[in-house]
Structure 1
Amino acid sequence: MPKLTEDTQWKVTEVLEPTPKPFFMNEERGIRLYQGDALAMLRQSRSENFDLIFADPPYFLSNGGITCQNGQMVSVNKGRWDEAPSLEDIHSFNTDWLRECYRLLKSNGTIWVSGTAHNIYSVGFAMQTLGYKILNDIAWFKINPPPNLACRYFTHATETILWARKGEKAKHHFNYDEMKRDNRGKQMQSLWSITPPAPREKRFGKHPTQKPEALLDRIIRASSNAGDLVLDPFCGSGTTGVISARLRRRFVGFDIDENYLDLAVKRIEDELSESQSTLNWAGETG
């Protein structure tokens, strides 16, 4: 766990203009959640403020189909936010929010965006046209994916995560040595085998597109340092915020759904409580 130092600045300066009231705020640890439309909140945000952005945007999978979940047939529909408009609308949306993220990143900052075949090609093309330099396309291999009920396709066992910086000449941050240590002294590859969220990660409630904590742990440790400011414009159940708190990063998250923000608050507060207990224990025994 990164150590706190006397010169670490945890305070989050105002990132939005005009400044709305946070849905949740922990000033001591520099964590804030805001309720609102992601694109609108991004447009209100101040330029070159964030060291790292992780985005899990709508995949536009909600098309009335079915899938398998815990051995049962269920609908793929996740909510109106995930319903698929036209291809032109999808690409316009991706271009708009990625343009704002480009503006918000610091010169040495990077962005990670997750997706599937439903949206990732639009995301990648939008990145290239906006001037991003794609550094890696990570293949997240889901070790235990749900079966394909139609039996007309290969089982969908991966998601893609694009990692990019601000242009060809930008000097992005990468904790190469730490990733190499994680991989037993060998260079880490772009194929990541990570299990879906464990039951403990859903103990306060479920989100239909929740990412595993292990995935965000690797992403945040790879491309940021303690005290850095992380943004998740589609924060959902708050996994990015939970791991940011655990790794001593500051965090700002946006989401439009109050129920998911309530879930994110419970998870982040629980993590902060556990982190403080760990620090207190270390202080007593150190």
Structure 2
Amino acid sequence: MNSNQKKNAPYNRTLKLTSEDTRNLSPLLLRINSKSKLCEIENRILNQDLFEAIDYLPEKFVDLLFIDPPYNMNKKFSSVNFRKKSLTDYEAWLESWFRKIIPLLKPDASVYFCSDWQTSIAVFNVLNKYLKVRNRITWEREKGRGSVKNWKNCHEDIWFCTLSDNYYFNADAVKLKRRVLAPYRDENKNPKDWKAETEGNYRLTHPSNIWTDLTIPFWSMPENTEHPTQKPEKLLAKIILASSREGDFVFDPFCGVGTSLVVAKKLNRKFCGIELEKKYALLSLKRLALAEIDKSIQGYADGVFWERNTLREQLINKKSK
């Protein structure tokens, strides 16, 4: 650790870079300036501008595309600043690079595109030109600034699209395990659509387009970093399990601190990410190395997703017995 780097409080598990990390991990970052083969970018992070790299990527290699671009607001990402544009200019900016990604997709590829409520219309307009828009997922961010003159903003959107009508979707892989508060029994007094377990009564439910079971990474979680808009691993696990198979290729052109890549690795998918900010790219590499040791995903166990906090309570109950 750098001598001038502030130490975390005892329960603060935020992942940070050390000078040793920077020295050891920097050679693993990749830059491309000529047409690349798939084997050259597989399971790699490209530390460069998307516009610089996009023309050199292989065609038709992506099974699952996850995009979490800067939203249309003034935001500082370490040394990179994004400036708010008019909605028309933001839409033009989105299309300027998104149209170049389309040739990278396999014919049966799926696409998930993140946005907030202010940019959802612009995002839809671009996606609808090139893809089949199938749904809009709305997920609850339990964090959010309060407002005395408006409703508190605590949700974001993810647009689900496909390139064609031939695509993969596995609903069974992303069922949510919910508590049953009023268990119903049939005429023979058998549980109906639920199961009695030692820790309580639970039901497996099909996934909907409203996600309220996610926890934004914060200081006591080992997946947390200093990235200002980091997505939860659990969110990416839902997307990757639903819309890809083991061995499929996940591509993220704005990978930040690599949540999509880390989860792809934990779930035995191939991956490639692009990140302009070197600090974030290095944090991605550090997280990928840690994923070699720990493949757990908060809120996901035994092949199912658990409601927020319920899995933790189950583990506590098991340890106390």
Normalised-by-shorter TM-score class: 0.7 to 0.9
Query: 1:247 is aligned with what amino acid?
Result: L
SS class of match (1:53)? strand
1:34 offset after TM fit, Å?
0.4
Give the secondary-structure state (helix, strand or coil) at the position aligned to 1:274. coil
Taking the aligned partners of 1:97 and 1:53, their CA distance within structure 2 comes to: 14
Aligned to 2:168: 173
Q: Which residue identity is paired with 2:46?
A: Y
Bigger CA radius of gyration: 2
Q: 1:252 to 1:46 in 2, by over 3 A?
A: same
Answer whether contact 2:139 2:211 (CA < 8 A) is retained.
Answer: yes
SS of 2:168's partner is coil
User: 8 Å contact 1:204–1:267 — kept in the other structure?
Assistant: no
Residue 53 of structure 2 corresponds to residue 58 of structure 1: no
1:186 aligns with 2:205: yes
- Equivalent in 239, 245, 264 of residue 225 of structure 1: 245
Within a 5 Å distance, the mapping from 1:101-120 to structure 2 comes to 101-120=101-120
State the distance in 1 between where 2:219 and 2:263 align.
17
Residues 146-201 of structure 1: per-residue CA shift (max 9 Å, x gap): 2324x21100011000010014xx31110122224657443211000111114355
In the TM superposition, what is the alpha-carbon distance from 1:58 to its structure 2 partner? 0.8
Q: Which runs of 5+ in 1 are unaligned?
A: 1-15, 63-75, 276-286
- The answer to whether residue 38 in structure 2 is matched with residue 41 in structure 1 is no
**Corresponding residue SS for 2:73:** coil
- Quick one: structure 1 residues 88 and 43, their matched pair in 2 at CA, closer, same or farther if it must change by over 3 Å? farther
Q: Is the 8 A contact 1:17 1:46 kept in 2?
A: no
1:7 maps to none
Q: Give the share of equivalent positions with the same residue, in percent.
A: 28
Q: Which residue of 2 aligns with 1:164?
A: 161
Taking the aligned partners of 2:158 and 2:88, their CA distance within structure 1 comes to: 22
Whether contact under 8 Å (2:217, 2:224) holds in the other structure is no
Q: Structure 2 vs 1, CA of residues 40 and 207 (structure 1 numbering), >3 Å: closer, same or farther? A: same
> Is the aligned partner of 1:257 residue 2:288?
no
Equivalenced residue count is: 239
Give SS of 2:293's match: helix
Asked if the contact 1:61–1:118 (Cα under 8 Å) also holds between the matched residues in 2, the reply is: no
Q: CA deviation at 1:81?
A: 4.1
Counterparts of 1:217 and 1:182 in 2: how far apart (Å)? Answer: 15
Looking at structure 2, the residues matched to 268 and 88 of structure 1 have their Cα atoms a distance apart, in angstroms, of 37
Structure 1 residues 270 and 224: CA distance shift in structure 2, 3 A: same
CA–CA separation in structure 2 for the residues paired with 1:40 and 1:120? 26
Q: What residue is the counterpart of 1:145 in the other structure? A: 143
Q: Distance in 1 between matches of 2:56 and 2:265?
A: 24
Give the Cα–Cα distance (whole angstroms) in 2 for the partners of residues 216 and 32 of structure 1. Answer: 18
Q: Is residue 154 from structure 1 mapped to residue 161 from structure 2 by the alignment? A: no
RMSD of aligned C-alpha atoms?
Answer: 2.7
The answer for unaligned runs of 5 or more in structure 2 is 1-31, 179-202, 296-321
Query: Aligned AA for 2:283?
Result: L
Checking the alignment, whether the CA contact within 8 Å between 1:139 and 1:159 is kept in structure 2 is: yes
Does 1:214 pair with 2:234?
yes
TM-score normalised by L of structure 2: 0.68
1:233-267 deviation per Cα after TM superposition (whole angstroms, max 9, x unaligned): 00001101110110000110001110111111111
Q: Distance in 2 between matches of 1:192 and 1:110?
A: 19
Secondary structure, aligned partner of 2:152: coil
In 2: Cα distance, 1:265 partner to 1:121 partner: 34
Task: Return the alpha-carbon distance in structure 1 between the equivalents of residues 211 and 263 of structure 2.
Answer: 18
Bigger mean CA offset, 244-253 vs 31-40: 31-40
Structure 1 pair 173–124 and aligned structure 2 pair: CA distance change class (3 A):
same
Residue 26 (structure 1) shift: 10
Q: Provide closer, same or farther for how the CA distance between residues 153 and 111 of structure 1 changes in structure 2, counting only shifts above 3 A.
A: same
What CA distance in whole angstroms lies between the structure 2 residues aligned with 1:202 and 1:36? 27
